[in-house]
Amino acid sequence: MTEKPNFFDNVTLQAILGDLGHVVALERWGPKISQRVIWRAPIHERKIALTFDDGPHPVYTPKILEVLERFKVPATFFLIGKHVQNNLTLARETVQAGHEVGNHTFTHRRLWRLTDINMFDEIKRTDEVLRNLNGVAPRFLRPPMGAFSKRVLNNVESVGYKTVIGNVYPRDSHLPSKEKILSRVLNRIIKGSIIILHDGGNTNHVDRSRTIWAAERFIPELQERGFEFVTLSDLLGHI
């Protein structure tokens, strides 16, 4: 399908809308802004994907993995390349536990601000690191901060990736209350949803305890509602 031209073709979503508008756009306007970005799966089954950004983190990723194991839930982790290099054993444990990994660039820089050469470097260095984990080529990339432009999408697609954002973003990286994270997920979930959470950060000095608390509660609640958690590849099929 040919993407319809729109006002956002040559600028980034984040640059226009700012932080709060960015969140609104993710959940309400995403498909209207760009049909080349995956916001959710167009399915009728009660399947959803849980995703985590910015890891691996030496403290919080193991705790997230324990929660996922407890509830028998697979997830997709969008990993920062430099963090993988610094936590290689943990990254391998994530893959060995049956979870999927995606590309979140090497140093978490805003891609739309980079030259093409530097943008490709961010993507390809991480791609190599991720392939070395289990020999599998990652399919999906999530741009840092969810910010993209037409040029970013062109470059991402040229190296074989699909750009994924999501449609349920409780803003856990902005440190709302744990109850707010929980309610935002539970109130916004629909069939085919992609949930955006964080198990790490651009540095190790982050607190993801609220995210863990919320995940321990919304996972069983959504399972009771009949939702099945799957990886992005399982959710999206051959998209």
Establish whether 198 is a catalytic residue: yes
Q: Are 23 and 169 in contact (CB under 8 A)?
A: yes
149, 12 Cβ separation under 8 angstroms:
yes
Token representation of residue 200:
């790490």
Q: Residue 107 burial by CB count (10 A; 0-12/13-18/19+): exposed, middle or buried?
A: middle
Closest CA to 11 of 122, 145, 162, 151: 151
Give the number of other Cβ atoms within 10 Å of residue 202's Cβ: 15
> What CA–CA distance (Å, rounded) separates 53 from 190?
21
Say how far apart CA 221 and CA 223 lie, in whole Å: 5
Contact 138, 102 (CB under 8 A): yes
For residues 24 and 39, what is the distance between their CA atoms, to the nearest angstrom? 13
Catalytic residue from among 99, 104, 108, 198: 198
Tell me how many degrees the CA angle 95-205-232 measures, rounded to the nearest 5: 30
Q: Which of 22, 53, 99, 127 is catalytic?
A: 53
List residues with catalytic annotation: 53, 198
